Amino acid sequence: MREITYLEAVREAMTQEMERDERVFLIGEDIGEYGGAFQASYGMLEKFGPDRILDTPITELGLTGAAVGAALIGMRPIAEIMFMDFTTLASEQLVNQAAKIRFMFGGNATIPMVLRTPAGSGTGAAEQHSQSLENWFVHIPGLKVVMPTTPYDVKGLLIASIRDDNPVVFIEHKLLYKTKGEVPEEMYTIPLGKADIKREGSDMTIIATSIMVSRSLEAAKKLAEEGISVEVIDPRTLRPLDSETIINSVKKTGKVLIVHEAVKTSGFGSELAAMIAESEAFGYLDAPIQRLAGREMPIPYNRNLEYNTVPQVENIIEAARNLAALRV
């Protein structure tokens, strides 16, 4: 199978869905001639024209509101917010409108829209362009939240999200854009709400999201050389969450390490830990649930400080070693 980058898989998913369904269109800042902040829509203006690749003024609230309105009348918009940090400006339309309209109308109205946004640190973009705010949106009933890790997953999940009749917050980590993987040329979907076991193991389960899945897999390889067998679970969608796959893995291994980039306080790891503690898996635990997350501070501009603000491979290895030695 051919290999393409994560970024190319994003572009291919959007292109194929726009070719298949004339109701799909893109809206955002600099997505046309410039091709998007990270070039996700590069070349699409020439292919589809300005009626379907809509460049907007600098107004995240406005473009998100336009997407909500378009979805209400039967279109299927893909709205791009340049950086996840700027979803703070779009949150009124996303949280107070898009998430609630289907409920308020008793299911008679749907909001089939996708809000795509790059998140995370590692590019030296500093405090206001490097945040991981996924759990803000996981908290809101009515929103679906997707965080793909691989090129294969990003294409299948993005197509599924575009076809979904609910608003989807689709989060792409900036450092993943250049990563490569096998991706079929034909269209395919991956169901929202289905986790993936990226690596099987027997001594502990690592549940990781986004870029931390890649780092956890690298850590698992090195830990295997020390005789520690690690199972790595990628939820892929945070809401809806595939709790069954996670619970079954915890029951098998008896130990859990949760890894994410966002700060630990009220991060997605808190929800995962609570879900495991409240489930039948609790009785199978051989050690307390452990969390490894970003430091309780904004992301610094300085590269060395930025590197040490979020979990790296060596931090995951150290946390896993400590967990392997723990007993209840």
Per-residue b or e along 212-227, where b marks 16 or more CB atoms closer than 10 Å to that residue's CB: bbbbbbebbeebeeee
The CATH architecture that domain 3-182 belongs to is: 3-Layer(aba) Sandwich (3.40)
Q: What pLDDT score does 326 carry?
A: 86
HSE value, Cβ hemisphere, 13 Å, CA-based, for 94? 30
Q: 34-55: per-residue pLDDT in tens?
A: 999 999 999 999 999 999 999 9
SS3 of the chain: the string is CCEEEHHHHHHHHHHHHHHHCCCEEEEECCCCCCCCCCCCCCCHHHHHCCCCEEECCCCHHHHHHHHHHHHHCCCEEEEECCCHHHHHHHHHHHHHHHHHHHHHCCCCCCCCCEEEEEECCCCCCCHHHCCCCHHHHHCCCCCEEECCCCHHHHHHHHHHHHHCCCCEEEEEEHHHCCCEEECCCCCCCCCCCCCEEEECCCCEEEEECCHHHHHHHHHHHHHHCCCCCEEEEECCEEECCCHHHHHHHHHHHCCEEEEEEEECCCCHHHHHHHHHHCCHHHHHCCCCCEEEEECCCCCCCCHHHHHCCCCCHHHHHHHHHHHHHCCC
Active site residue 173: no
Strand partners, 172: 118
Instruction: Tell me the pLDDT of the chain averaged across its residues.
Output: 97
User: Is the model's pLDDT at 18 over the cut of 90?
Assistant: yes
Over residues 118-125, mean pLDDT: 96
Per-residue confidence band for 170, with pLDDT thresholds at 50, 70 and 90 = very high
Over residues 222-243, mean pLDDT: 98
User: What's the chain's length in residues?
Assistant: 328
Q: What pLDDT score does 328 carry?
A: 67
Residue among 67, 69, 63, 58 at smallest CA distance from 114: 67
Same fold yes or no, 3-182 and 196-325: yes
Q: 109-121: per-residue pLDDT in tens?
A: 999 999 999 999 9
Q: 198-211: per-residue pLDDT in tens?
A: 999 999 999 999 99
Q: What pLDDT score does 1 carry?
A: 85
Q: 78-98: per-residue pLDDT in tens?
A: 999 999 999 999 999 999 999
- Cβ neighbours for 63, distance < 8 A, ≥ 6 positions apart: 27, 28, 29, 56, 79, 90
User: Is the model's pLDDT at 327 over the cut of 80?
Assistant: no
- Sequence spans of domains, the chain: 3-182, 196-325
- Assigned token pair, 283: 């009785």
Residue among 309, 165, 130, 317 at smallest CA distance from 226: 317
Compute the distance between CA of residue 246 and CA of residue 21 in angstroms, rounded to an integer. 35
Give the right CATH number for 196-325 from 3.40.220.10, 1.10.357.10, 3.30.460.10, 3.40.50.920: 3.40.50.920
Count other Cβ atoms within 10 Å, centred on residue 245.
Answer: 17
- Assigned token pair, 231: 């199972």
Q: What pLDDT score does 162 carry?
A: 98
Whether 285 and 317 have beta carbons less than 8 Å apart is answered as no
pTM of the model: 0.97
Q: Phi, psi at residue 280, to the nearest 5°?
A: -65, -15
Which of 129, 139, 173, 260 is the catalytic position?
129
Over residues 247-273, mean pLDDT: 98
Count other Cβ atoms within 10 Å, centred on residue 154.
Answer: 30
Over residues 10-15, mean pLDDT: 98
Compute the distance between CA of residue 126 and CA of residue 255 in angstroms, rounded to an integer. 35
Q: What pLDDT score does 2 carry?
A: 95
